[in-house]
Amino acid sequence: MILNVLEKKQVSKNIFSLILEKPKGFIFYPGQYLDVELPVDDPNGSTRAFTISSSPTENSLMVTTKKGISPFKKFMENIKPGETVSTSHPAGTFTLDETEKAVFIAGGIGITPFRSMIKYVLDQQLKTPIILIYLNSVNNFPFKNELDNWQNKLPNLKIHYVNTTVQGKLDKGKLKIILHTKYLILNTIFYLAGPPGMVDDVEKILLKIEVDPINIRTDRFDGY
Ligand SMILES: Cc1cc2nc3c(=O)[nH]c(=O)nc-3n(C[C@H](O)[C@H](O)[C@H](O)COP(=O)(O)OP(=O)(O)OC[C@H]3O[C@@H](n4cnc5c(N)ncnc54)[C@H](O)[C@@H]3O)c2cc1C
């Protein structure tokens, strides 16, 4: 698909979003991604996957990324409104099960699928209980203002921000304090998204606290 770039938004110093025109009849599920292809000569190829950080209930599509050092990222940073990008159709099975309690664990830019899912839950007035554990190495958490605002409107959403530089990495002790009860661990789907190393570390902790592997869903952002 060829999509028009409507806007480029600075989310924080190192993070920006591209707002793309949503074609008529475009269907996707919160948590899915697009493969974006750019006309660039890059040793790692000219395509990258980006989660759609907007919700299906919003009027446009959004992808959000960190500034980088690759030719691909340099090109992406210079895209201007009025230009176009080439993308695949939405893909991926890292999507929300609305009927089960959810714990979302995001590592940095891994917040993108959860922004989409939470906005969807809000707009569709779903009752899905959600705990978001948002890990970031700096205090500037992308989308924090929006997330705080949505938390105020959603009694079933609880957000824990963890600055890993100050508070240290997530470990068994911290996770148990956040999750409180065994009941939560037994009857909940855990969704992990972010850099592969972070996802692997958190998955190991979940297995240690006896979360059933069948209840763990992962979205590894290869390339970080
Ligand atoms: C299903 C899926 C969904 C994804 N969703 C997203 C998403 O929503 N958002 C997203 O951003 N990515 C997402 N990714 C990852 C994305 O596809 C890219 O692989 C990733 O953004 C890295 O891009 P890049 O290869 O162009 O490298 P770069 O971003 O240029 O990074 C290359 C390497 O350099 C490091 N680096 C970057 N900047 C610096 C610097 N200033 N100094 C030193 N080192 C640096 C990076 O940490 C990395 O190790 C997703 C991947 C998958 C598989």
At 187 the pLDDT is 81
At 219 the pLDDT is 98
List phi, psi (to 5°) of 62. -140, 135
Ligand 1, from 38, 69, 74, 137: best to mutate by most atoms within 8 Å of Cβ?
69
At 15 the pLDDT is 97
Q: From atom 52 of ligand 1, which residue's Cα is the shortest distance away?
A: 221
Q: Quick check: CB of 114 below 6 Å from ligand 1?
A: no
Output the furthest CA–CA distance in the chain (Å, rounded).
Answer: 52
CA 103 to CA 175: how far, in whole Å? 11
Q: Quick check: CB of 65 below 6 Å from ligand 1?
A: yes
Mean pLDDT of residues grouped by 10 in the chain (224 residues)?
97 95 96 98 97 98 98 98 97 96 97 98 97 95 97 96 95 87 77 98 94 96 94
Paired tokens of 162: 């963890």
At 177 the pLDDT is 86
Q: Quick check: CB of 166 below 6 Å from ligand 1?
A: no
Q: From atom 11 of ligand 1, which residue's Cα is the shortest distance away?
A: 65
Q: Quick check: CB of 196 below 6 Å from ligand 1?
A: no
At 183 the pLDDT is 57
* pTM assigned to the model: 0.96
At 134 the pLDDT is 98
**Beta strands across the sheet bearing 47-51:** 47-51, 33-37, 84-87, 2-12, 15-21, 60-66
CA 106 to CA 143: how far, in whole Å? 12
Q: Quick check: CB of 45 below 6 Å from ligand 1?
A: no
Domains present along the chain, CATH in parentheses: 2-87 (2.40.30.10), 101-220 (3.40.50.80)
Place of tokens 């209840």: 215
Ligand 1, from 50, 52, 109: best to mutate by most atoms within 8 Å of Cβ?
50
At 180 the pLDDT is 76
